[in-house]
Amino acid sequence: MRTLHLPLPTARLRLRDFTGEDFAAVQAYSADPRVTRYLFFGPRDAEATADYLEGLLASQRETPRTRFELAIEEPGSGRVIGACDLSMIEHGVFDLGYMLGSGDWGRGYATEVALALLEAGFQQLNAARIISTVDVNNRASIRVLEKIGMRWEAIFRKHRRAKNRWWDCHLYVLPREVWLAQAAPGGQRD
């Protein structure tokens, strides 16, 4: 089983494992109803955040590690502005996700993070395909997935029940061979 080499740098950010010291930052963005509007959880209170962080830290010790839920950090300030993840759902298939605190929306961070996760997923984890499910009403996240080259594959009606309602979700997919074909002109990805 391959693993991610952490931290993962992007042009403006650093993706790293969470630590217990990240509690206040996680609480700040995951308690915001604007951030969790299209997510199956939240807003989280302090107890739910503590439980989430405890489970997350435990997942970092699993062998083999199949869940890479990472802090999105501004390198200069060390400020944690959100979370992202690649989680193996079956051999060779990884689910991609991300969330940012509302104060950091509109800066291109989600696209930057998602591109870094795709690259790491295909190069380091040897993914055969990377998928992402997104609420049908989450237009901003849909735009990000399309910008990074993921393709709409299906709609899941009543995909999951959470927050006292059924969620309809789009499934976006990027197979390894399509990712390789999207390489910059004149070059091939390894």
Q: Which residue has the higher pLDDT, 186 or 2?
A: 2
Pair of tokens at residue 51: 């439980």
In a domain, 87, yes or no: yes
The pLDDT tens digits for 5-62 are 999 999 999 999 999 999 999 999 999 999 999 888 889 999 999 999 999 999 999 9
DSSP string, 20-54: GGGHHHHHHHHT-HHHHTTSSS----HHHHHHHHH
In a domain, 190, yes or no: no
- Report whether the peptide linkage leading into residue 9 is cis, meaning its omega lies within 30 degrees of zero: no
**pLDDT band, very low/low/confident/very high, at 190 (cuts 50, 70, 90):** low
Q: Please, what is the Cα angle at 118 between 129 and 187, to 5 degrees?
A: 95
Decide if pLDDT at 187 tops 50: no
Instruction: Quote the pTM value.
Output: 0.92
Q: SS3 of 182, please?
A: coil
Decide if pLDDT at 2 tops 80: yes
Task: Tell me the C-alpha distance between 186 and 102, whole Å.
Answer: 38
Amino acid identity, residue 131? I
In a domain, 37, yes or no: yes
Is the backbone of residue 164 left (phi > 0), alpha (psi -120 to 50) or beta? left
Whether 62 contacts 17, CB under 8 Å: no
Whether 153 contacts 173, CB under 8 Å: yes
Decide if pLDDT at 184 tops 70: no
**pLDDT band, very low/low/confident/very high, at 189 (cuts 50, 70, 90):** low
Q: Residue 100's pLDDT is what? A: 97
The secondary element (H helix, E strand) that includes residue 110 is helix 109-123
Whether 33 contacts 43, CB under 8 Å: yes
**pLDDT band, very low/low/confident/very high, at 182 (cuts 50, 70, 90):** confident
Decide if pLDDT at 113 tops 60: yes
Pair of tokens at residue 155: 């709609």
Q: Where are the extended beta strands (E) located within 20-164?
A: 67-73, 80-90, 93-100, 129-135, 151-162
Mean pLDDT of the region 100-123: 97
In a domain, 160, yes or no: yes
In a domain, 142, yes or no: yes
In a domain, 187, yes or no: no
In a domain, 100, yes or no: yes
Q: Give the domain range for residue 85.
A: 8-181
The pLDDT tens digits for 117-166 are 999 999 999 999 999 999 999 999 999 999 999 999 999 888 887 777 78
Count of structural domains within the chain: 1
In a domain, 186, yes or no: no
Burial of 33 (0-12, 13-18, 19+ CB in 10 A): exposed
CATH of residue 72: 3.40.630.30
Q: Residue 41's pLDDT is what? A: 86
Please list the residues that pair with 72 across neighbouring strands.
Answer: 15, 82
